[in-house]
Structure 1
């Protein structure tokens, strides 16, 4: 089988906004969601910069029995999934009477692990841990909670592939539907933002220390970039067989038409232009497209020296002199880590359906690698029919997705 796969619903909870409308406006206005969390410095961080993501209050929204096992990232994912199903016009009756799968990209949760360890260190009694911390701390925390809350009975597993996780989740959902194994899959990515979760990342000195102007700290492709800014939240997308979507009269947001992947096979934190090129080429080949078909590229670029350099080399190799505009929405969001590959498909689809390209803000000085890139440095109003989105992660995992207008 070779079925078409479409997006019929989206949801987002991020530092750019708590719903699709808020996020669309932030993207169009080039508005940064990055700020300072002073508690990080008190805890011992080198940098207090982070995406400012509100933690939702689910009291009165979900029964306590359903809330107790939710980690922070699962709370974000619940809000995104709730919006995505609503956006897709899918209610509880539909979910109970149809097989819907779930594949989410996320890491295990640091906060419940640390909280449990503190209780054990102080009280030496596991009976005091309660029943919720185990379900909050497992790597499958998002899937197990959302499948229970939404009565999902299809495929159900977690993708943990570092900062390409959210993208791979969409790619795998796309493949399952394309090959007739599922008709509908909720895909997405989620990332906690509490300061417990990022301390070991901060230890690598990978974070920007430009704390005097937080909103200018994330500078993808800029010569003066000094590191990424951690961020998070959740993004959810309803992927569906095209015929199924048409039959039920669903609003089709975009078509997922290409998925490419590769592994660099080098150092654990070493990026690769060759690996990036392979993933992008496979995605375009899968979509039956050439480089001159692409209208916009949502770059992975996180604002690190090495990562941006190698992606710029890869993009230049493939797209020099082509018309595709390029920007990294991480200039506004910071690096949403395990969530990023999914949220950036949401961001890209919002641009596609509202006829604009969001800017790569804070780019002032090109370096020798970025100077040839066709970067959108301000909001560009234009028609977008085909979009490529890149996601690369530690361990050399690379993912590229292609979406197109239907």
Structure 2
């Protein structure tokens, strides 16, 4: 018999705020975290728009040796995980004595790789790179650093699945616990924010060029959208078996009841409706819920024409025109590898505070978005059960369903 899986802690480090309280207020206010980054423009970017987070100061928490193998993804992930562990009432002494796993979504470490190679070009000597660079450069940088710092003894790997990485990491943690292989898994997603990580995306013409109006540029589902906006940070979700959470007396924020996944098996970058529908239906079947029991959908919608339209069609096919839908990417931009995890955090904050965050900048629907119930202004509403979509390059799809504890 599968075990129940609950959420006992969440943490966030995003362009909406660097802690849960700041982010909850920003979500309710419909506040955008998008800015114009002159450094990108000077570098040669077509679009200088981005979400932005401050560089965290880790000196109060970590030794120099602990910090030397960390670059942006690991730094952000540490801050989010620190907050999540505090909420879950977990400390390093407890983690060292128990079997706790970590599965984190991350799909790039571009800036650290570029910096290491620039140093070699400048000095002509690889021995001058520094011993910490190898741990910064690997895609598993978050897991390597956090598992060591937190003295974790359970499952330990990174999950790379493009913009569904954070969501799949939570899904895999869910499967590990439900099958009795782990009692507790630290899950999440991290995304670096720097010009090195996103130049190839910009070169494809993927990003919005509404540079004169940064906060109005991310427009999921809106007819006049002209591209997505990159963003980043980190989000952490602590998953535990229901029995273990009750034994510890831990807070239970919600129960993860469904994980649906699929692959489109077609174009490497263009989505398709069939793959999304299959992930949606798998998650609902596993959760044992009907379309009518879903109170809110946090859409993947990134503010691209083909992506938003295909998701609107998939949502309409499965849920019709009644369930409230919004994309928090209208405020955050596309947080890429962390998005699937951060959007679980964002929606849990909505659940806790009885509101639906708005899909800001939604002014004119297109043919497909007009068919679904997009919430363009903050809506007071009780949420007992929500669904979150994440889709990525390569045709990977992930859907998670969470119900109130």
TM-score (norm 1): 0.99
Preserved contact between residue 272 and residue 310 of structure 1 (Cα < 8 Å): yes
Match of 2:379?
380
Match of 2:157?
157
Match of 1:368?
367
Partners of 1:117 and 1:377 in 2: CA distance: 45
Match of 2:69?
69
Match of 2:80?
80
Partners of 1:132 and 1:248 in 2: CA distance: 37
Match of 1:265?
265
**Secondary structure at 2:220's aligned position in 1?**
coil
Query: Could you give the per-residue CA deviations for residues 239-288 of structure 1, whole angstroms, max 9, x where no partner exists?
Result: 00001111111110000000000001111101111111000110011100
Query: Could you give the per-residue CA deviations for residues 178-197 of structure 1, whole angstroms, max 9, x where no partner exists?
Result: 00000000000000001111
Match of 1:239?
239
Partners of 2:382 and 2:309 in 1: CA distance: 29
Partners of 1:318 and 1:281 in 2: CA distance: 8
Match of 1:319?
319
Q: How many matched pairs?
A: 405
Match of 1:51?
51
Partners of 1:49 and 1:300 in 2: CA distance: 19
Partners of 1:16 and 1:197 in 2: CA distance: 20
**Secondary structure at 1:371's aligned position in 2?**
helix
Match of 1:214?
214
Match of 2:185?
185
Match of 1:337?
336
Partners of 1:241 and 1:396 in 2: CA distance: 31
Aligned ranges for residues 3-402 of structure 1 at < 5 Å?
Answer: 3-322=3-322, 324-402=323-401
Preserved contact between residue 108 and residue 140 of structure 1 (Cα < 8 Å): no
Query: Could you give the per-residue CA deviations for residues 150-170 of structure 1, whole angstroms, max 9, x where no partner exists?
Result: 111100000000000000000
Query: Could you give the per-residue CA deviations for residues 364-406 of structure 1, whole angstroms, max 9, x where no partner exists?
Result: 0010010011011111111101100000000000000000001
Preserved contact between residue 108 and residue 191 of structure 2 (Cα < 8 Å): no
Unaligned runs of 5+ in 1: none
Preserved contact between residue 108 and residue 192 of structure 2 (Cα < 8 Å): no
> Shift in Å at residue 4 of structure 1?
0.3
TM-score (norm 2): 0.99
Partners of 2:316 and 2:154 in 1: CA distance: 41
Partners of 2:313 and 2:371 in 1: CA distance: 10
Partners of 1:28 and 1:236 in 2: CA distance: 21
- Runs of 4+ aligned structure 1 residues displaced above 6 Å come to none
**Secondary structure at 1:50's aligned position in 2?**
strand
**Secondary structure at 2:394's aligned position in 1?**
helix
User: Could you say what the CA RMSD is over the residues aligned between the two structures, in angstroms?
Assistant: 0.7
Partners of 2:97 and 2:117 in 1: CA distance: 41
> Shift in Å at residue 124 of structure 1?
1.6
Partners of 1:218 and 1:271 in 2: CA distance: 19
With 383-392 and 114-123 compared, the bigger mean Cα shift is at 114-123
**Secondary structure at 1:343's aligned position in 2?**
helix
Query: Could you give the per-residue CA deviations for residues 35-94 of structure 1, whole angstroms, max 9, x where no partner exists?
Result: 011000111100000001111011232100000000111000000000000010111221
> Shift in Å at residue 112 of structure 1?
1.2
Partners of 2:216 and 2:108 in 1: CA distance: 30
Preserved contact between residue 262 and residue 279 of structure 2 (Cα < 8 Å): yes
Partners of 2:55 and 2:291 in 1: CA distance: 40
Unaligned runs of 5+ in 2: none
**Secondary structure at 2:175's aligned position in 1?**
helix
Partners of 1:131 and 1:50 in 2: CA distance: 31
Preserved contact between residue 36 and residue 211 of structure 1 (Cα < 8 Å): yes
> Shift in Å at residue 109 of structure 1?
0.5
> Shift in Å at residue 148 of structure 1?
0.5
> Shift in Å at residue 108 of structure 1?
2.7
